[in-house]
Amino acid sequence: MNQAIHLIDLLQWLMGPVRAVQGFADTLAHRMEAEDTAVAVLRFEEGALGTISATTGAFPELSTRLEILGDRGSAVIDDGHLTVLRVKDREIDTAGMGEKPRFGDSHARQIADLVDSIRVGRSPLVDGAEGRKPVAIIGAILQAAGTLTPVDVA
């Protein structure tokens, strides 16, 4: 929940709502009350399947990675950098894009947007309803891990 929520949020933002999950979670690397390792299979509303593998028990210096693989294109975000972008019949060299898109400074941007939204009286770009979506997915994964049965995401 603590670390993987950011990539789960990005995954559901890119892929759309998650309909159901099956998951497993355990405490394998740390002496603590919460899980430190989880894996899950997701079924998205549009029918696509996805997988999540998350741990705080990996040896240091391992990157975070999000891969979207499809029949008409694929993208890889590695440590907040878009490192691979391929669309059907061509490959796009991400090194040629100049400064690679970076997603790692999103906290500062979200806080700045929240402050601005309060100042001008508008809704923030990421509101509570949006923030609840990855929390619901993680809750369903943990429920599925506890019951060993698939869980619908509410």
The tens digit of pLDDT for each residue in 45-74 reads: 999 999 999 998 888 878 889 999 999 999
The tens digit of pLDDT for each residue in 19-37 reads: 999 999 999 988 888 889 9
Residue among 147, 118, 144 nearest 18 (CA):
144
Radius of gyration of the chain measured on its C-alpha atoms: 17
* Predicted pLDDT of residue 105: 66
Q: What type of residue sits at position 105?
A: D
What pTM was estimated for this model as a whole?
A: 0.83
Give the CATH number of the domain where residue 32 resides.
3.30.360.10
d(CA 100, CA 78): 11
* Predicted pLDDT of residue 3: 79
The count of domains in the chain is 1
The tens digit of pLDDT for each residue in 134-145 reads: 999 999 999 999
74: left (phi over 0), alpha (psi -120 to 50) or beta: beta
Range of the domain at 145: 5-152
* Predicted pLDDT of residue 98: 45
The tens digit of pLDDT for each residue in 69-123 reads: 999 999 999 888 888 898 998 867 666 554 555 555 667 888 899 999 999 999 9
